[in-house]
Amino acid sequence: MKKPVAILIGALVLAGGSVGSLMLVQNKKNSEQKAVQEQLEDNKLFRFDADSVTKLEFTCDEGEYVVEKNEDGKWLLTNRSDFSIDQVYIQLIRTYTADLTAEVSYGEATDENKAMYGLDNPQKIVITEPKGEHTLYLGGKSPTGDYYYVMTEDKKNVYAIKSLYGSALFADRLTLKAKDLVPYELFDIKEIIIKKDGKVTCDLEHDKENDEWSIDKKYDMLRVDATSISKELNNIIRLQADEMLDENLEDLGKYGFDKPDGEVVIMSEDGGEWGFKVKVMEEDPSYAYVLLENDNQVEIYYSFDLDIINMSTYDFISHKIQGEDMFDTESISLELGDESYDIQLNVDERTCTINGSPVEIADTEGYTAFQNFYSSFASWEIAGIDADAKPDKDDTVLTAVFKTKSNGDSKIEIVKGSDNRYYILKDGKYTCAYANEGRFTGRTSVAEFLSKLVTK
């Protein structure tokens, strides 16, 4: 889990919430009070401005990591170029140590005490800010597990801090490494490709100049839903690993990445590429393994946060194909099964004829009935998309030709296919979308709405 980050957040939330049992000495002798106060003051290990810190140096069992802030306020690893830094972890380290107070003092840090408390070969954090350096040495854990023993450069004693919080200070490569699923901001993304079983299920491209998203050209008759794209991308660029596992994984089968449940590849505006594979845990499907392909880092995430791998072009388009605006339409030639209807229309004046017979649409009831009828053949809910289908026009069950005031003529055709699919064509071209049978059966059918209009 994200233990160091969660622990430090908890420590900061609780800071100031407990004044400690040593404060309950107000009725003691003045000398005892003075000693207690002096000890409390001595237990204040660090006091500095967390925001003024410019550098942190971590000396760990595996080596040294130097982290510095650049001109943009971003923390970078400067003594090597292995990985990006976890910005949140560095922020929390600064904030927690800036007001670090020990729980207990164990007396002077003699060589004997250093060895006893695991401080003869400690890990170390050096924090640099304008007023100087602050060095914290991290030693062993107390026998009861309640504390970690620590020292500082400018104090003579050995101290103890709560083990829950102290454990988060022991940095290593994976603790310091950025936990971001995606290293880009939304405006940095140029293209995103989603794959399932090795096949592309969605390909989205962003035109930065016009701030427009587009989909695969075979779906160019469908309207992109930019809101759904932004929502999903905003989700994945904010995700952070719940736990870091293997780095530089070689055996893809170890976590099932030889047969992933999905893959995502993201291209950035500056030419970068970032990809990851997802495998839902068999032992606990609420979690999923993720393989970052750039360095084969294995991480754990909540499965529901990674639903993007189950998405396709259908999830990023408007789910409606709209005919002409009723207010701009002058007439409709409608063929429904074996029946034909010539509809003359003036919505502004609330007049309508069907095959030469007037239909009353001036009153509320009639107008509502006409609106329902018009929408039933002019506006189609998309039930799914299928670019490989080849609708046979011999099976056309509805044709609507719209004559408009400003856009000329346009046409919608519905062709019945298999599995109760009704393929949608517009102006003679297959849109790659299909509707369900609802418009042709039951109370929501075109025929039913027509019947209600002419018999009201």
* pTM attached to this predicted model: 0.80
Identify the H or E element spanning 40: helix 30-42
**Any idea of the CA torsion for 10, 16, 18, 20, to the nearest 10 degrees?**
120
pLDDT digits (tens, 9 = 90+) for 244-276: 999 999 999 999 999 999 999 999 999 999 999
For residue 42, what pLDDT is reported? 85
Do 68 and 75 touch, CB atoms closer than 8 A?
Answer: yes
User: What b/e sequence results for 96-131 when a residue is b if at least 16 CB atoms lie within 10 Å of its CB, and e otherwise?
Assistant: bbbebebbbebeebeeebbeebbbeebbebbbbbee
Are 98 and 129 in contact by the 8 Å Cβ rule? The answer is no
Token pair belonging to 388: 């490989």
- What is the rounded distance in angstroms from the CA atom of residue 161 to the CA atom of residue 102? 5
Helix (H) or strand (E) holding 55: strand 55-60
- Amino acid 32: pLDDT: 59
Q: 402 and 324 in contact (C-beta within 8 Å)? A: yes
CA distance 52 to 420: 66
**Residue that has been written with the tokens 């002798």 in this structure:** 29
pLDDT at 41: 86
pLDDT for the residue numbered 7: 72
CA 87, 88, 89, 90 dihedral sign is positive
Check if the beta carbon of residue 414 is closer than 8 Å to that of residue 424.
yes
- Please provide the DSSP assignment of 231-256 as one string: HHHHHHHT-B-SEE--SS---GGGTT
Q: What is the mean pLDDT of each run of 10 residues along the chain (456 residues)?
A: 67 51 42 65 93 96 94 93 91 95 94 95 96 96 95 95 93 93 94 96 95 94 96 96 93 97 97 97 97 94 97 97 95 96 96 95 95 96 96 96 94 94 97 96 93 85
pLDDT at 11: 66
Q: Write down the pLDDT at residue 17.
A: 42
State the CB neighbour count (10 A cutoff) for residue 309: 22
pLDDT of residue 425: 98
Per-residue model confidence (pLDDT) at position 2: 62
C-alpha distances (whole Å) from 169 to each of 8, 160, 202, 219 are: 9, 13, 42, 52
Sort 408 into a burial class: Cβ within 10 Å, 0-12 / 13-18 / 19+: exposed
State the Cα–Cα distance between residues 215 and 206, nearest whole angstrom.
9
Distances in Å between the alpha carbon of 221 and those of 69, 137, 218, 373, 375?
Answer: 48, 64, 8, 24, 20
**Residue 357: what residue type?**
S
